Structure 1
Amino acid sequence: MARWEPNARGRLEEAALDLFGERGFEQTTVAAIAERAGLTERTFFRHFSDKREVLFGSEPMSSAIAESVAAAPESASPFEVTAATIADLAEALEGRRERALRRRAVIAANPELQERELVKLAHMAAGLAAALRERGVPDLAAALAAETGLAVFRVAFEQWVNGPDTPGLPALIRSGIDELRNITAE
């Protein structure tokens, strides 16, 4: 096996998703993932702490959230910042629908992974709330904006992966934000 090859992380993710789909999550080993990717187990562990992290690695998402919140105009309200942040996440995911479908199928087949998905979403909300607090948003407002924003994101994401003829994820996010504004204006 080559000592270094480009895109090792991406190749490991693809190999893992393929194997999870073929064999199931529980029956897939790290060794099999590394072999399918043409890499070593050691390389796998440089990128992921275990095979679950292939599905739940959150560092790129956490960084994207922090960067988006930091880039928002100072005059933006906490909800406007949150809406812009989840819209940015949607843009980043838009071209990855097929991967999202495959990932979702693996998670849906395993209750332990379903629980882990909820934990990941809770961490995303906590990270968003923390980033809002760094902007000076009070605790309660930061927590409510973050939790509400993640609820919109989850609903839009489910629509996106469930319907073959749905508009893109960014459009679904915008629609969810608009509907939330309508609901809260009543």
Structure 2
Amino acid sequence: MKIWVIFISILLSGCATMQQNCGVFERGSSEYRLCHAKKGSKIHQFRYAMELFVKNDIENARDWLFRAAKDDVSYTNRNIDPMGLISDNNPTVRDKEVGEKGDKAAAFMLAKIYDEGLGIKVDRDKADYYRTKAGNTVVEIEELSDRYTIKLKTKMVIMSNGENKEGLYDLYSFKISKK
């Protein structure tokens, strides 16, 4: 009997760790982004990658950008009941696409990484592939520094040719400064 109780308690404790509750983390924190990124949220994968990029952890940033840019079943679809309605029981809201196109901002960043050889060899073919995948897109970047606790949000319009529209910041122009 004791063995069954131990066995079942081990199984149940494993179930609790497989679906982590991201609500326990402060909204906007690194842990919050990472939790949602692991669950498959494209925007959180991109934001976490940008956080790593700002911290010069290029290799891990690139890995998260690959995940964010990958075409797969959307994060939203994992939270939809079998009838196709969003789980908050709102019958008027339906997911219009079963598959989610990868995050365009992540594709743009991968194009920059391949263009400039950041942590890898320069590969113009892959850069062109990701630049085409990004298309014309609006990129929202949140730069965070645990050290100085600053937050900077910037929106940029990225054109297919990699140029930014009028007077908007380039991805690499961010500077971290004390408050």
> Is the shorter-chain TM-score for this pair beyond 0.5, marking a shared fold?
no
Instruction: Mark the structure with the bigger radius of gyration.
Output: 2
* More strand as a share of residues: 2
Higher helix share: 1
TM-score of the aligned structures, taking structure 2 as reference length: 0.26
Name the TM-score, length of structure 1 as normaliser: 0.25
Pick 1 or 2: higher relative contact order, CA cutoff 8 A, min separation 6: 1
